Amino acid sequence: MGFLKKLSYVILGIMVSILLLFTFTEFISFSLDHYITSFDKYNITEATGMDMENLEHTAEDILKYLKDNREKLDTTAIIRGEKTEVFGNREKLHMVDVKELFTVGMLIRNISILIIIGILIFIVKKDKNWKKGFSKTLIYTAIANIALLAILLLLMAIDFHKYFTYFHLIFFNNDLWLLNPNTDVLIQMLPQGFFYDTAVKIVGYFIGSLVVLGSAGLYYIKKAKSNTIY
């Protein structure tokens, strides 16, 4: 029972980490304001030949497509004074892969919620000191993840392009993500800087939530010790 209880807490920590990561990834990736801020920051109107209204319209269609609220990514917009279809075939095929990646991510997130609920029910029934165990799990999860995220931020700062490339090589089984910045609107709209900012925001929210959870766990442990003493 001792080993099973420890294993349960370890799995709980991992599932909490997965839940937070995918939740904040979805939150930032599906934020229209995040896209609009990037368009202004990187002067995307000049890069694409679209005004802000057409860029926002196109971004909305992308998000609808990724959320499966739009069947095809056949968006049309005014580009350099002419109404035309925004994305070419290669871009559309790549977005099929991106959509699938988000779908899998959301599935993993939802499964992690069910696992967390199941483990919590198990430890509450089997461990009379589950509050202490849960608090320690939050503390250890926060420390471990913050350390890993600090390393990730350092690597990103040193050479984001290198690790962004690794990401694509790992998660995509084709080269459709290699787009032409001179002709493909998708990469003009979403340059590498956009993805760097996205990653930093996700990590920032993730770290913030870990600090809150770890602090809550630490508070409970200290409070429990204080009550024991008195």
Alpha helices (H) in the chain, listed in sequence order = 2-29, 32-41, 44-48, 52-66, 89-126, 130-171, 185-189, 192-229
User: According to the model, what pLDDT value does residue 225 have?
Assistant: 77
- 148 within domain boundaries: yes
Inside any domain, residue 85 = no
Domain around 131: 2-40+106-229
Residue 46 lies in a domain: no
- 19 in any annotated domain: yes
Residue 216 burial (C-beta neighbours within 10 Å; 0-12, 13-18, 19+): middle
Token pair 């991106």 in the structure block, residue: 98
Tally of domains within the chain: 1
Does residue 198 lie within any of the structural domains? yes
Q: Which one-letter DSSP state was computed for residue 190?
A: S
Could you give the C-alpha distances from 73 to 98, 155, 169, in angstroms and in order? 12, 34, 24
pLDDT digits (tens, 9 = 90+) for 2-20: 788 889 999 999 999 999 9
Flag whether 115 is in a domain.
yes
The CA distance from 192 to 157, in Å, is 13
Q: Which residue's structure tokens are 């030949």? A: 49
Residues 6+ apart with CB under 8 A from 45: 39, 51, 52, 55
Q: Crossing angle of helices 89-126/52-66, nearest 10°?
A: 50
- Does residue 94 form part of some domain? no
pLDDT score, position 223? 85
pLDDT of residue 228: 63
Name residues of the chain where pLDDT drops below 50: 230
In a domain, 78, yes or no: no
In whole angstroms, give the CA distance from residue 144 to residue 162: 24
Percent of the chain surpassing pLDDT 70 = 98
pTM of the model: 0.92
